[in-house]
């Protein structure tokens, strides 16, 4: 099995947005939702509209994984608005899958999801990109934004912080923590 990497460069993320959006709004939102929430692939592919909606008022402000209920992931306003527009445009009902196959109207398979992400990355010349890249990208950018590795570890469901550091491709040797108190 090939090792996949997180997408570290923001410009590459933006390029993926453009490449996916040019193919379909569904593909773009699948990618964007995944890298903003770090949702597990099995959950992502089985998301119902009701999983992201607040009754008929719009899209939830926070994403919460059932295994880490004390950690909330705030969804950006642009993503919430795009999801709501997509749900409305596609006339999706609460019980329907959010990301469904255009042909069968059933859930996307892992293979279909892989093709969507991998093809867009390949078209952009990006190597080592697969489905796990989505979760790794979330975790990497959460870490880079200052979120404690122990919080990310709990959210991802990893056993150790070492496992999480390895998952996002951060060397524990190069990682430093600075604490500066001014009491």
Instruction: Encode 77-89: b = buried (16+ Cβ within 10 Å), e = exposed.
Output: eebbebbeebbee
Token pair recorded at residue 46: 């089985």
pLDDT greater than 60 at residue 158: yes
| Confidence at 175, pLDDT banded by 50, 70, 90 | low
Among 27, 35, 37, CA closest to 9: 35
pLDDT at res. 3: 87
Encode pLDDT of 40-94 as tens digits.
Answer: 999 999 999 999 999 777 999 999 998 899 999 999 999 999 999 999 999 999 9
The yes-or-no verdict on residue 114 having pLDDT over 60 is yes
Q: Spell out the domains of the chain, with CATH numbers in brackets.
A: 10-134 (1.10.443.10)
């Amino acid at each position: 099995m090939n090792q996949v990497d997180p997408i570290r460069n923001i410009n590459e993320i933006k390029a993926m947005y453009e490449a996916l959006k040019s193919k379909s709004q569904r593909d773009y939102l699948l990618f964007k939702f995944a890298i903003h929430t770090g949702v597990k692939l099995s959950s992502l592919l089985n998301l119902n509209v009701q999983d992201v909606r607040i009754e008929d008022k719009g899209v939830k402000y926070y994403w919460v994984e059932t295994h880490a209920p004390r950690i909330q992931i705030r969804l950006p306003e642009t993503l919430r608005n795009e999801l709501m527009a997509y749900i409305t445009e596609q006339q999706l009902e609460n019980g329907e899958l959010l990301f469904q196959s255009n042909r069968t109207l059933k859930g996307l398979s892992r293979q279909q999801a892989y093709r969507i992400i991998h093809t867009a990355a390949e078209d952009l010349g990006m190597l080592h990109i697969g489905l796990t890249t989505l979760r790794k990208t979330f975790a990497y950018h959460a870490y880079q934004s200052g979120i404690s590795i122990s919080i990310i570890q709990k959210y991802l469901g990893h056993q150790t912080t070492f496992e999480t550091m390895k998952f996002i491709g951060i060397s524990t040797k190069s990682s430093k923590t600075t604490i500066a108190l001014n009491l």
